């Protein structure tokens, strides 16, 4: 589709909430339009059903951590930036009482429809909201989960809210893209940007304001959550975007499996990782 920067800056819905920042308004406009353009795919519950494990894949790893954190059917989970509801509905199927928010009202409606499709409306509560100002009381959630959300928001404000709404003993689990200086120096050259453009785009699912988490961002999170644990992924599997389905075994990425072994054998290579799963404890 090309660069959407100008189009995104000009989009504003009537009656827009004056409390939103300019960045939040741009994000909402983007995701309202992105949700309208993106047809919902089939939802697989495989990551939470326990019949198969893929700990080398960061998304499956998050699902396994959430599954392992479940001890009773009364636990409350916050789907932090729920998007169209795929993960919230998945975790509701697992047995959690799921509360989700998203800055995009179009996404919120999509999440509600998805919950209804799988008869999980009674275990899900989706509403419009922002990461930096949660509409929940202190110590309400057993688990807070976010998928590719922190790199879209004000991290200090969002992390303060995450820690605030977590119960003592609760856990926050987030999958995020992370900056790898050795890789991103090349990625940000003119040639790198020509090969893989970084401008805002609906086709490439890139917003104007998003940016990968940095080492400083991780230290900011650690200041609020000293028990922070960081699990790193995606070194060789960066190439999956180029090789597609050609290097798969039973539907799983062979390069992701290789990364798992590589990072255990040579931990120093973690500095090349492109994704992290961070775990915040209370």
Going by pLDDT thresholds of 50, 70 and 90, the confidence category of residue 238 is: confident
192-208 average pLDDT score: 78
For 178, half-sphere exposure in the C-beta direction (CA atoms, 13 angstrom radius) is 26
Give the per-residue pLDDT at 153. 97
**Other residues' Cβ atoms within 10 Å of the Cβ of residue 117:** 13
In tens, the pLDDT along 46-60 reads 999 878 899 999 999
Give the per-residue pLDDT at 15. 42
Alpha helices, DSSP H, located in the chain: 5-10, 22-37, 46-49, 58-69, 86-94, 105-117, 155-165, 181-187, 190-195, 215-224, 240-243, 254-265
165-169 average pLDDT score: 96
Let me know: does 138 contact 113? Beta carbons within 8 Å. Answer: no
How is 51-120 classified by DSSP, letter by letter?
Answer: S---TTSHHHHHHHHHHHH---TT-EEEEET-TTSHHHHHHHHHT-EEEEEES-HHHHHHHHHHHHHTT-
Give the per-residue pLDDT at 17. 64
Reply yes or no on whether the pLDDT at 267 is more than 80.
yes
Reply yes or no on whether the pLDDT at 199 is more than 50.
yes
**Right CATH number for 5-281 from 3.40.50.150, 3.40.30.10, 1.10.3130.10, 3.40.190.10?**
3.40.50.150
The one-character DSSP state at 202 is T
Among candidate residues 69, 7, 51, 74, the one with its CA nearest the CA of residue 280: 69
Burial class (CB in 10 A: 0-12, 13-18, 19+), 20: middle
Helix orientation angle between 86-94 and 105-117, rounded to the nearest 10 degrees = 40
Let me know: does 167 contact 193? Beta carbons within 8 Å. Answer: no
Helix (H, G, I), strand (E, B) or coil at 275: strand
Reply yes or no on whether the pLDDT at 190 is more than 90.
no
* Residue % of the chain over a pLDDT of 70: 88
Mean model confidence pLDDT for the chain: 89
20-39 average pLDDT score: 94
Helix (H, G, I), strand (E, B) or coil at 225: coil
Q: Which two tokens stand for residue 7?
A: 């189009």
Let me know: does 233 contact 273? Beta carbons within 8 Å. Answer: yes
- Domain locations along the chain: 5-281
* Euclidean distance between CA atoms 211 and 130, whole angstroms: 18
Give the per-residue pLDDT at 247. 84
Question: Comparing 233 with 196, which gets the higher pLDDT?
Answer: 233
Give the per-residue pLDDT at 186. 63
| pTM for this predicted structure | 0.89
């Amino acid at each position: 589709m090309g660069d959407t920067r100008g189009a995104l800056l000009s989009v504003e819905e009537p009656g827009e909430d004056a409390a939103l920042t300019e960045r939040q308004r741009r994000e909402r406009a983007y995701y309202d339009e992105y949700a309208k353009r993106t047809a919902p795919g089939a939802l697989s519950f495989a990551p939470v059903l326990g019949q198969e494990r893929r700990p080398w894949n960061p998304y499956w790893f998050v699902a396994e951590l959430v599954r392992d954190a479940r001890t009773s059917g009364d636990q409350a989970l916050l789907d932090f930036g729920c998007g169209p509801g795929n993960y919230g509905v998945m975790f509701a199927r697992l047995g959690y009482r799921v509360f989700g928010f998203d800055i995009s009202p179009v996404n919120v409606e999509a999440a509600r429809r998805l919950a209804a499709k799988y008869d999980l409306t009674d275990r899900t509560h989706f509403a419009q909201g922002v990461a930096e100002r949660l509409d929940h009381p202190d110590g309400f959630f057993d688990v807070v989960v976010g998928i590719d959300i922190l790199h879209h928001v004000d991290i200090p404000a969002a992390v303060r809210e995450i820690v605030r709404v977590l119960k003592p003993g609760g856990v926050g689990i987030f999958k995020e893209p992370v900056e790898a200086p050795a890789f991103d120096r090349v990625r940000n050259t003119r040639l790198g940007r020509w090969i893989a453009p970084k401008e805002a785009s609906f086709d490439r699912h890139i917003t104007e304001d998003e940016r990968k988490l940095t080492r400083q961002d991780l230290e900011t999170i650690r200041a609020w959550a000293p028990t922070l644990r960081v699990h790193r992924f995606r070194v060789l599997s960066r190439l999956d975007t180029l090789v597609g389905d050609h290097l798969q075994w039973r539907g799983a990425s062979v390069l992701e499996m290789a990364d798992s072994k590589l990072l255990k054998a040579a931990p120093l290579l973690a500095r090349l990782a492109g994704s992290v799963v961070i775990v915040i404890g209370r």
